Chains A and B, each alone.
Chain A
Amino acid sequence: MAVYSRMRHTSFVRITHWITTLAFLALLVTGVEILISHPRFYWGDTGNVNVKPLLTLPIPTSRSTIHNGYSITLDDQNGWSRYLHFEAAWVAVLVGILYAAYGFRSGHFRREMLPSKSELAPRKLASEMVRHARVWKPNEDEAWSYNVLQRLAYSGVIFVLFPLIIWTGLDMSPAFTSVFPGAVTILGGRQAARTIHFAVTILLVSFLIVHVAMVVLSGFRERVGSMITGRLSKAEERA
């Protein structure tokens, strides 16, 4: 009979990881679709084509009322994009709540995600960065858990970026702000929330790119395999 390996990722973490991946990709694609109907950003409560924007993305748009210097107007895809954006948001939020409850209760956050105080000492952190820049393959400890740089990145996504993108997303809902007006005024208004929502998207996409790049560089089959089966390859287990 097979020898049972230690599990690298619990089934709970694996399932929530992949559901969140799907929800995130759906949110990203539909978010881009919604964005191209008004690729202008403002600060404060209000913003529209009569208001000077903070930033304009130089892309064609799906509305003829926006003059971005292109002769084409893209198709309006906002109907299904909005439906799917909010459906995927429900999935991401509900799974996120379950994951957070699990993370705190099981010790997953403490053991795997949050960096320890000693790891955050500047000298230790600096040497870790230097080592990480030179060595791509995980060492024995890293095969079973995360190094401090990974912990900082994952914690940032879990405890800062995801809560912030949910918060700013809700701030754009007139029904939500009718119940919690303080949630949007504290950020400086609805357009400020929309701009932050976009900025956090850029950060999350940057994370995704680095995350996938590191998975590829450190062994695509092993990393993706262990996030699917929960186990490490024999070679890595013995390492």
Chain B
Amino acid sequence: MSNISRRELITTGLAAAAGVAGVGALAKIASANGLIPPDSGVLYGTGESLTYAAQRLLTRHSMAQEFSRDKISAKPFANEVNTLPAEFAPLQAGGFEGWRLKVDGMVARPKAYSVAELKLAPSQSQITMVACEEGWDYIAEWSGVPLEKILRDVGVHPSAKYVVYQSIQPEWYESIDMADALHPQTIVAHTMNGTDLPVPFGGPLRMRVPRQLGYKSVKYITRITVTDDLKPFGKGLGGIDSDNGYAWYAGI
């Protein structure tokens, strides 16, 4: 009996050591291939890293589900936002003529776009779902400028890794990786169901990332920053929600 258990002990020990070494090697390879999310070090970061890596391998080019026109929600729900800052009301009164979307960071030609300029640019329309992490959802038709076109316009540095976007709401920011930033359905939306994007839904400009949960689709965006490091932003986890304990990657 003692022989058997010693042999078992040694095999188990070797298997465990090989397992740990294997996981270590895998983690290195994954990191080098952009398969590790910025919040991999938090308490439940292991599961999050598995989800992100699996979905980056499977979904890099997949398209978010699109729906037929008759599926558009008759009564979409605009989640509550904090009171908008004082500067919002005068901009709204002026028909958002003074609204600017600044694009900076690791780009060759930093720029500031007006809403009118973005509305004139070639747009993408999609009938997609906004799915909130709370469990509810709605479907709407969204039109806007693909983020990829904006990034091409300003000339993104090849070593860029993330795109950070900021709301006019102080501290409201999120970020996505380049796979999502360059995805054809990721748009800076200015139109919803054929009319100017209503303020409760994020007007005049809102990011739409339809392959992730609603909290990545930040409302009232005023600034887009291309970067290879999320540490300088907020608490360094890539978004107000991840700074507050939510997963950074919200593809689930």
Contact = CB atoms under 8 A, between A and B. Distances in A.
B34 interface: no
Interface stretch (B63-71, B97-105, B163-171): B63-71
Contact of A84 (B44, B73, B80): B44
A45 B71 contact: yes
A102 interface: no
B134 interface: yes
A173 interface: yes
Interface string A96-132: 0000000000000000000000000000000000000
Question: Interface majority SS on B: helix, strand, loop or mixed?
Answer: loop
B129 A83 contact: no
Contact of B251 (A50, A89, A175, A191): A175
Interface in A26-83: 34-35, 37-38, 40, 45-51, 63-65, 78-80, 82-83
A219 interface: no
B136 A47 contact: yes
Contact of A48 (B138, B247, B252): B138
Chain A interface size, as a band, is 35 or more
| Most chain A beta-carbon neighbours within 10 Å: one of B63, B79, B139, B245 | B245
Interface of A: 1, 34-35, 37-38, 40, 45-51, 63-65, 78-80, 82-84, 86-91, 172-179, 181, 184, 190-191, 194
Given A50-B77, A82-B246, 17 more contacts: A38-B135, A45-B137, A48-B137, A63-B134, A79-B244, A82-B133, A86-B252, A88-B47, A89-B47, A174-B131, A174-B212, A174-B252, A175-B212, A175-B252, A176-B251, A178-B65, A184-B65
